[in-house]
Copies of this chain bind each other. A is one copy, B any other.
Amino acid sequence: MLKVDGHELERRLELFREAARAAGIKLTHQRLEIFREVAGSLEHPSAESVHRALSASMPTLSHDTVYRTLWMLTDLGLVSTLGPKRESVRFDANPEPHHHFVCLRCGLARDFVSTELNELRIPDSVSDFGSIQATQVEVHGICNDCQAQQPAD
């Protein structure tokens, strides 16, 4: 199990404490442990694996708490998600090289093309992880419709 450096983890925990205080959010034991688990791992865990990892030391921890906390951390900007948020698998039948704009609120996804972005140089170190098949750019933002509904944060 890969771990984040201890000092770095403490720094992230401090950021969380500050952000929680600023947002008027209570610092419960559950929240601190859940954040520690996500921030301390390099594996980008799922809610399920966070729950599994913590249930040894906190046998009564509920799934609901893990999910609520992770989304709360996401709202605070301390955590993000891989791929389109809270949704089912989405399919893409565009055979041309292309890139995606994805709305962080509603999951809307749109293609765009750019010959420049098709030819990115990826650091050599990445091939230590495995063989590379394709590379694409994901632009995250808020789509026009979502902005119209709830203009600013």
Kindly identify which residue among B88, B143, B146 contacts A48, using a CB–CB cutoff of 8 Å.
B88
With A42-B111, A90-B46, A116-B121 in contact, do A100 and B79 touch (Cβ < 8 Å)? Answer: no
Q: Is A62 an interface residue (CB 8 A)?
A: no
A115 to B114, CA, bound (A): 20
Across the interface, do A92 and B82 meet the contact criterion of CB distance under 8 Å? Answer: yes
Q: How many copies does the complex hold?
A: 2
The listed residue (B70, B112, B131, B136) touching A123 by CB distance below 8 A is B112
Stretch at the interface among A24-32, A53-61, A102-110: A102-110
CA distance A38 to B91 in the complex (A): 7
Contact of A92 among B12, B79, B131, B136 (CB under 8 A): B79
Contact of B85 with A81 in the complex, beta carbons under 8 Å: no
- For chain A, what secondary structure do more than half of its interface residues adopt (helix, strand, loop), or is it mixed? mixed
Cβ contact within 8 Å between B102 and A82: yes
Whether A139 sits at the interface, judged by CB under 8 Å, is yes
On chain B, the residues within 8 Å of A48 by CB distance are 88
Say yes or no: A136 contacts B133, CB within 8 Å: no
Chosen A-B contacts, 18 in total, with CB atoms closer than 8 Å, are: A42-B111, A43-B109, A45-B91, A82-B89, A82-B91, A82-B102, A101-B129, A103-B129, A104-B133, A112-B123, A112-B125, A122-B137, A122-B139, A130-B142, A132-B139, A133-B141, A134-B140, A135-B140
A residues with a Cβ closer than 8 A to B are: 12, 15, 35, 38-39, 42-48, 50, 70, 73-74, 78-93, 95, 100-104, 108-114, 116-117, 120-123, 125-126, 129-144, 146-147
